[in-house]
Amino acid sequence: MRPVAARRAGWNTVGAVLAGAAMGSASGAITACEVSAALAWEVGGCVPTGAAKGAVGGALLGLVAAPLGRSGRRRRQPAAHRPAATTWAAAGLVLAALAAAVWVWTAEWGATEGGLERFPLFYAGLGIAGGAVVLLVLTWGLLGRRGWARWAAVVGFALAAVAALAALLAALAALDVGVTGNLWLNQPLPELVPPVVFLVVSVAVVVLLLVPPTARDFSAARQAPLRDADPHQGSGSPKAPGR
């Protein structure tokens, strides 16, 4: 590997670790609080503790998945073929995750009465709006066979699956003990549907992006020539010396 390429790969790995830590801290905070609720532990302090542990796990996951960021099309590289069916399916499930988040938020907003109860949902809606932009960009990147989009989707949805599993366990425990007065349980949707939907979608996105057809799709896209490359460079056979 040339020195310039080695430095670029090193910086990409550092970026993958830092980005994975950032995503892991958010997922870890949610996971820790949901697990504490499922096990009837004291939920105070679960956010900083879970965020710290999640950051470590996210950094390790980002490091392991870093090679995915070096797959797919590069800059100035045209799309040589249409996306594979598995790539289309993964991109569609990313949009399905966005639709599920909007569905849950809309149901929560309709179930609460006006006043102070809607302030947390208002801020949650702002977060969903920001997440919608991220997911739309991620979908565009996946259909364009960009390596950074594949890496971000695998790491992000793997962490989301862990958080969804913890939320599912918390919902099951709440049903067993008969918790009442909880806004997340006092909703028109069945209590187990949102975490199950997010868990299934998250696992499906990760699996679809790691299966061999998707890997071949991104590898083939990376082998296409650059736009400004000379089509005659390196082609043809050398002329025989004159006799």
> Can you give the three-state secondary structure of 31-66, one letter per residue?
HHHHHHHHCCCCCCCHHHHHHHHHHHHHHHHHHHCH
pLDDT, position 198: 93
Angle between helix 85-111 and 212-222 (nearest 10):
110
Cα distance from N-terminal residue to C-terminal residue, the chain: 40
CA–CA dist 148, 141 (Å, integer)? 8
Alpha helices in the chain (DSSP H): 3-38, 46-64, 85-111, 119-143, 147-177, 193-210, 212-222
In the three-class reduction of DSSP (H, G, I as helix; E, B as strand; rest coil), residue 146 is classed as strand
pLDDT, position 44: 66
pLDDT, position 152: 94
pLDDT, position 77: 67
pLDDT, position 187: 47
pLDDT, position 110: 79
The Cβ of residue 68 has, within 10 Å, a number of other Cβ atoms equal to 23
Residues 6+ apart with CB under 8 A from 243: none
Cα distances (Å, whole numbers) of residue 49 to 33, 155, 162 = 9, 21, 16
Scored b (16 or more CB within 10 A) or e, 77-102 reads: beeeeebbebbbbbbebbebbbebbe
In the three-class reduction of DSSP (H, G, I as helix; E, B as strand; rest coil), residue 94 is classed as helix
pLDDT, position 3: 65
Walk along the chain (243 residues) and give the pLDDT tens digit of each residue: 566 666 677 778 888 899 999 999 999 988 988 888 778 776 667 888 889 999 999 999 999 999 998 887 777 666 667 889 999 999 999 999 999 999 888 888 877 777 777 777 888 888 889 999 999 999 999 998 898 999 999 999 999 999 999 988 888 877 654 444 455 445 445 677 888 999 999 999 999 999 999 998 888 776 655 555 444 444 444 444 443
DSSP 16: H
